Amino acid sequence: MPKVLISDKLSNRAIEIFTERGIEVDFKPGLSPEDLMSIIGDYDGLAIRSATKVTPPVLEAATNLKVVGRAGIGVDNVDLPAATAQGVVVMNTPFGNSITTAEHAIAMMFSLARQIPQANASTHAGKWEKSKFMGTEVYGKTLGLIGCGNIGAIVADRAVGLSMHVAAYDPFLSVERAEEMGIEKVELDELFRRADFITLHTPLIDATRNILNAEAFKKMKKGVRIINCARGGLVDEAALKDALDSGHVAGAALDVFEEEPAKQHPLFGMENVVCTPHLGASTSEAQENVAIQVAEQMSDFLLTGAVTNALNMPSVSAEDAPRLRPYMKLAEQLGGFGGQLAESSIKSIAVSYEGEIAGLNVKPLTATILMGVLRPQLDSVNMVSAPMVAKERNIDVSETKREKAKGYHTLVRLQIVTDKGEFTVRGTVFAGEKPRIVGIDDIILEAELSDFMLFVTNEDKPGLIGALGTLLGNSRLNISNFHLGRREHGSGAVALVSVDEAVPQNVVEDVRHLPSVTNVRALKF
């Protein structure tokens, strides 16, 4: 039975879902890093919010961990490269609090426009400073939207409903999609030049860190108002204070800060600044939604292999997971076979899916093939980390699909190019979910792979099979299966020999010196 640890405060509904699905769950919020490391090795899954820090030491101690589920969007508290290297899938719940966060941004915009927090405090203090709190309408104003994903799109929709002009900067937003939404796609400098209000809805990455800095503020129109309910670090807080002090920026509303919890800050106490303690997702509806989503996603993964909203591997639906399972073994074996034949630096890996398999989500299969190819060189590589490792090593990876496979209901073709040449391996799955190798380069053969094998290429001349069998017998290696293929009579041929135990290197060298043998490799699966 899978076992999950919930280490942050989460709705009880999450516990109920795990239990209903037959997963053992422990609820232990508030663990110190040391306490977390001392127990995390017992768990298959870890459900968190923003408090738990999933660091490399935590991941190193998590010897059984398969998945981290973040109830919310941001995963700044998870070391994603370290999790990927460990083969731990990291999921978030990007839709559960989208409306709540978008509504908070709109509320912050109104708070700025009408100075509602300041007027509230003044009135509670017994003052009646009606003339002091002169506001501005949002009607007809331009809202500059930095990031137009799930949350940004909702903010845009609400702003259009308020009769605002919306100018959005997002590299992934198409002009056609912007037109459908009734907004305008613009470049960043154009947004700075035109916007009366600017709100941010983008993740914190190298490209967006301090996207609002001193230079950016200089490009904005005087009197602009800034709203950040996304991530701390998107705004250079020192530069913002300078722009507020100078009057160039009329006001700012911040729900997130570079360092949290923010109990002291240079912006605190400024009359034209509204601050809230990271309340973007803080509604009862949002908390319930993300708790339900993270529990369902983690349960699906641990029980069926379905992957939803993962940040470091392809998604696999609950419907696709069982359909892919027979092909996962084939993908691993094809990759392992190809990786052990690659004698030098790999330049490119091309995978072709033909026939019935082409209708499936093959991204996980490609990741598995990459893992198999790279593992002979890198023991620690796994299905999750393999695509990243291939990219880091400048290996060109391509994937194609064809509806028909000549002679088979399904065919997977793997081509590997090294600095010394190229070769192709083909495989399929027969009845009973049994993977088979069905071709090497232009040679047809059918072979079921076993734990230990010997791969021999040779000239097609009489006597090799007898000599090879005698040599292995004299070396006390029992042959369990023998698979042969050749191009044509007297031409090149291959042999795949299954044996009961690993072939020692001295035996490999003896085979290499047999007459007509051109190459030999000991394989292990």
Question: Nearest to residue 335, comparing CAs of 442, 465, 427, 265?
Answer: 427
Active site residue 201: no
Token digits for 524?
Answer: 């292990």
If residue 248 lies in a helix (H) or strand (E), which one and from where to where? none
Catalytic: which of 114, 278, 487, 521? 278
Q: Where are the beta strands (DSSP E) in 106-196?
A: 142-146, 165-169, 184-185
Is there a contact between 182 and 205 (Cβ–Cβ < 8 Å)? no
476 C-beta neighbours (distance < 10 Å), count: 9
Examine residue 326 and say whether the peptide bond preceding it is cis (omega within 30 degrees of 0). Answer: no
All residues at 6 or more sequence positions from 319 whose CB lies less than 8 Å from its CB, including other chains: none
Is there a contact between 173 and 148 (Cβ–Cβ < 8 Å)? yes
Question: Nearest to residue 257, comparing CAs of 243, 278, 241?
Answer: 278
Token digits for 41?
Answer: 């090795």
Question: Residue 453 in 3-state DSSP?
Answer: strand
**Kind of pairing between the strands at 452-459 and 492-499:** antiparallel
Q: Where are the beta strands (DSSP E) in 7-132?
A: 24-27, 45-48, 67-70, 89-91
Active site residue 278: yes
Catalytic: which of 231, 413, 436, 483? 231
Strand order of the β-sheet with 346-355 is 396-402, 346-355, 410-418, 421-430, 434-440, 443-447
Is there a contact between 216 and 240 (Cβ–Cβ < 8 Å)? no
All residues at 6 or more sequence positions from 122 whose CB lies less than 8 Å from its CB, including other chains: 129, 132, 133
Active site residue 260: yes
Catalytic: which of 20, 60, 187, 260? 260
Which residues on neighbouring strands pair with residue 425, listed in sequence order? 414, 440
Catalytic annotation, residues: 231, 260, 278
